[in-house]
Amino acid sequence: MLAFAVAGCAPSVRVPDPVTTLPARFEIRAAPGAETLVLDRWWLTFNDLQLTALVQGALKGSTTARIALARLEQARASRALSRAGTLPSGSISASATEQGRESLWGTGISASGQESYSANFVPSWELDLFGRLAAIREQADVGSAAATYDFHAARLALAADVASSLFQARGIAVDLQNARETREITGQLARAARIGVERGLTSGQDLARLEADAASAAAEVTRLEGELQAAKRSLLILVGTPDAPTASLDVAAELEAPPELPGATPGILLARRPDVLSAGLALQSAILDTRIDRLALFPRFAIQPGLGLNANGAPGAGGTGFWSLAGNLTLPVLDRARLLAQFRLSEARGEEAVVNYERAVQTAFGEAENALVRLQAAKGRTQQLERAEERSRTAYEIATRGYRAGLTDLTTLLQTQRTWLQVRSARNQGRLAVLTGTVSAVRALGGGWSEDGMPDAVAPKSDGSQP
């Protein structure tokens, strides 16, 4: 009766519920009727063989993927260890003894000996009357599930990083291609000016300006060649092939438009974002931890049955078997102040976990909303730059024909050329921003994984504990 009276004096768990109010929809909506992107394995929707190969290679062999797998295996082993601690325990012990004795009497000597054997099995089984052991097992399962979501979060980020790195490398390749075209154009103008100087048709000042532009264009080509080489190496390291030559990675000078994002509501973040799901399980684990520390104030009951056998080695001698059954009651009395302090500490950690979960949800919503806003802005800006590039290119072509015909002066030609090159560069950056913005939006929406998408190499394994 005293044990149950003490249990009734244990404090109750007071961890508030999280507040996760989200708007019904994002301010930015998907384009109606567009070919939409599939979130689970979104890179396939791009219909880009190189992108698919690089992402799949990274998910299989990169250091990031291997570290994520190692951490997942650690979490599974920790789960098995925690669950094993709630099972009955016990061991078998055995011993053998041989004794000898000699008796000296007069001139005679007599000797005798005795052998004895014993074996004992004394298990211990804690009765889970108040649910402490069940809570420990549940917490172990929750921790393993959270580690699985962390595993998916790492792979989700890796796939997005690979795609962004590839698109950025392609953007550099486009800039390099344009820079080489500019170098050729400025070189042709400089050569024509030299002929004009020789014939007295062009001033030395104009020639110097054109040669300066040609040298500047050549310098830009050299810079971009180095940038592309570095981007290739970074991408090879990211996908797990750091020793591969950069020549093995062919980066095309193209920035094709990505597929449209699917229509999504903020509520999808609670089901698709693995970091939000992991934060929710961290909250659940903190609540269970508080419950376990509360149940530590309760009495514990254990039974200890025992079996044994004693025998000696004398011919014809038999053995003696025995059994026992003991009960054990543990009631925290002098440790109660320490256990109460531990419970209050766990309760405070639970309140922190509530706030952490709320922050994870709010952060996820902010990232998704901002990514969608930036993507829409990038699309609108790029559409305007496409028109501007077309008009500025037309103006440059007209100025070039006029200059060759002697109808346009060099200053006008160079101004239209610089305007076109600047607009073309901005247009290319806009196309790149649309591609990387799509990847960022997919990442913010939790794309890149699925519940049934666990690779075969990391499929759940039996850990030998009770289900």
pLDDT in tens, 364-422: 999 999 999 999 999 999 999 999 999 999 999 999 899 888 888 888 888 898 899 99
Cβ pair 309, 319 in contact under 8 A: yes
State pTM to two decimals. 0.84
Distances (CA, A) of 87 to 21, 81, 123, 134, 327: 41, 10, 11, 11, 17
* Mean pLDDT rounded to a whole number for the chain: 85
Cβ pair 37, 259 in contact under 8 A: yes
| Residue 321: pLDDT band with limits 50, 70, 90 | confident
Q: Is the pLDDT of residue 465 over 50?
A: no
User: Could you confirm whether domain 18-88+131-168+223-293+337-458 is CATH 3.90.1150.10?
Assistant: no
Distance CA 83, CA 139 (A): 9
Q: Is the pLDDT of residue 222 over 60?
A: yes
* Across 332-353, average pLDDT: 91
Q: Is the pLDDT of residue 37 over 80?
A: no
Percent of the chain past pLDDT 90, that is, above it, reads 55
Residue 461 has a pLDDT of: 44
| Residue 315: pLDDT band with limits 50, 70, 90 | low
Q: For 138-194, write each residue's pLDDT tens digit.
A: 999 999 999 999 999 999 999 999 999 999 999 999 999 999 999 998 898 888 888
Distances (CA, A) of 20 to 88, 148, 448: 41, 23, 24
Residue 31 has a pLDDT of: 58
Q: Is the pLDDT of residue 458 over 70?
A: no
Count Cα neighbours of 241 within 13 Å in the Cβ-side half-sphere.
Answer: 19
Query: What are the residue boundaries of the structural domains of the chain, listed by start?
Result: 18-88+131-168+223-293+337-458
95 in helix, strand or coil? strand
Helical axes 132-198 vs 410-444, angle rounded to 10°:
170
